[in-house]
């Protein structure tokens, strides 16, 4: 088992390039099975979730390599329609293969996906969307099989703007006959990136980033080279880490417009932020001010994937703050771990009331999920003394060698095997 050890109390300083977005790369890699040929996808981080996706693609018949951030894919031999159960159970994002495999092969078989235990994450919107496009669904002995001789465009309304459902429907609809309209679509930047990738392949999609996405089906797509957008959650994590440790850093390869809600909140708490092209300069010289109330919500609101990191930031603020989680239930598991470090947080239904304190103290804590793990690392950076973070395999799902990123910024942190 591997752990992080952190000697806290050192402000972050220096510069760092943000790697490509995991949540953009995964659906893009899945979409590659929609066409035959050689793909080159650049700025793909080396993460456990990416490794699982590449293993799945290999099992489906693709030839795969991942060197220096570039994934090379030869997809001509993709012919297997069943996603391996053991790999499906390791990563929720394996569901992104439902739409493209159904569109390419006319059928796909999956089991229920795995991933972080952060509450209920149903796939009913995915199933309803693919059914509306003409798929027939059979469930037996834990497997779900979708079949469709030919998908047909239609109007689809999502009862919730689900990112995954929006992307799965987009990927299925690009080869459907006729036009598909997704209403109440999710707005996230990763959806815009998927649209840009699919359009580069020859798809006809418009409206990503708005409430309505329209897809005119085409007969075939082609292989392309493409670069993934920067990871806004990684950038936001470092932004909040600087605010928590009262440091001064420069982040390159960022898109500040993807972090508008986070930047506004950080600034209101006293963090200085300057944007220049893809460079974000972040400086903090004092304890943050508290926030009366912040509510997580789909983009462009404050992202649920930064809620835990924000909570650490606010645990050292002057005053009391309230954070309400509206996207996932069960996403306050880090609260008990932060309490071990001295944080004063009370959870009432879907809200956390955070009373700011003067300092955190190092402790042995456990990462219960990906973003909770990142939050505990930030807490360790700011705490007095030594912090040990266990179960860091969760963190490795979303941050490429986080300890290397942070030591580059002056943190005293190491990965140990115990």
- Active site positions, annotated: 116
Dihedral angle computed from the Cα positions of residues 227, 230, 234 and 236, in that order, rounded to the nearest 10 degrees: -170
What are the Cα distances from residue 127, in Å, to 41, 135, 205? Answer: 28, 9, 21
Cα–Cα distance for residue pair 137/383, rounded to 1 Å: 52
Cα–Cα distance for residue pair 172/303, rounded to 1 Å: 27
- Which tokens hold the place of 297? 């919500």
Pairing of strands 412-417, 386-390: unpaired
- Which tokens hold the place of 364? 């042995």
- The residues, ordered by sequence, that sit 6+ positions from 347 with a Cβ below 8 Å of its Cβ are 332, 335, 353
Cα–Cα distance for residue pair 370/395, rounded to 1 Å: 5
Q: For residue 195, how far is the Cα from the chain centroid?
A: 17
182: enclosing H helix or E strand: strand 179-183
């Amino acid at each position: 088992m591997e752990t992080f050890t952190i000697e806290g109390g050192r402000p972050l300083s220096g510069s760092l390039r943000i790697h490509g977005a995991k949540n953009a790369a995964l659906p893009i890699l899945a979409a590659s099975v929609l066409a035959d040929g050689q793909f080159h996808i650049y700025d793909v981080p080396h993460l456990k979730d990416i490794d699982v996706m590449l293993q799945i693609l290999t099992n489906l018949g693709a030839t795969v390599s991942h060197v220096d951030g570039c994934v090379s894919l030869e997809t001509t031999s993709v012919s297997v329609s069943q996603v391996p159960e053991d790999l499906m159970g390791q990563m929720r994002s394996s569901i992104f293969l439902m739409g493209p495999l159904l569109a390419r092969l006319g059928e796909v078989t999956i089991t229920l996906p795995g991933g972080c235990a952060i509450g209920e994450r149903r796939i009913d919107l995915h199933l309803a969307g693919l059914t509306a496009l003409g798929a027939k669904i059979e469930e037996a002995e834990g497997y779900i099989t979708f079949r469709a001789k030919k998908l047909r465009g239609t109007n689809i309304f999502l009862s919730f703007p689900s990112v995954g459902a929006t992307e799965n429907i987009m990927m299925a609809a690009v080869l459907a006959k006729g036009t598909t309209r997704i209403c109440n679509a999710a707005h996230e930047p990763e959806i815009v990136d998927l649209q840009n990738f699919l359009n580069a392949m020859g798809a006809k999609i418009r409206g990503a980033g708005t409430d309505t996405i329209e897809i005119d089906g085409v007969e075939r797509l082609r292989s392309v080279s493409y670069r993934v957008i920067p990871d806004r959650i990684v950038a936001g994590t470092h932004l909040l880490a600087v605010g928590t440790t009262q440091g001064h850093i420069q982040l390159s390869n960022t898109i500040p417009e993807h972090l508008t809600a986070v930047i506004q909140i950080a600034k209101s708490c006293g963090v200085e932020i300057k944007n220049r092209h893809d460079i974000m300069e972040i400086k903090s010289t004092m304890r943050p001010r508290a926030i009366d109330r912040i509510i997580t919500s789909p983009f462009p609101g404050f992202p649920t994937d930064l809620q835990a990191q924000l909570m650490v930031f606010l645990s050292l603020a002057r005053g009391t703050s309230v954070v309400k989680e509206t996207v996932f239930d069960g996403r306050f598991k880090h609260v008990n771990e932060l309490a071990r470090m001295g944080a004063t947080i009370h959870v009432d239904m879907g809200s956390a009331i955070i009373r700011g304190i003067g300092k955190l103290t190092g402790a042995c804590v456990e990462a219960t999920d990906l973003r909770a793990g990142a939050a505990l690392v930030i807490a360790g950076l700011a705490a007095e003394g030594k912090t040990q973070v266990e179960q860091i395999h969760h963190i490795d799902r979303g941050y490429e060698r986080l300890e290397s990123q942070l030591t580059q910024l002056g943190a005293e942190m190491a990965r140990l095997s115990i």
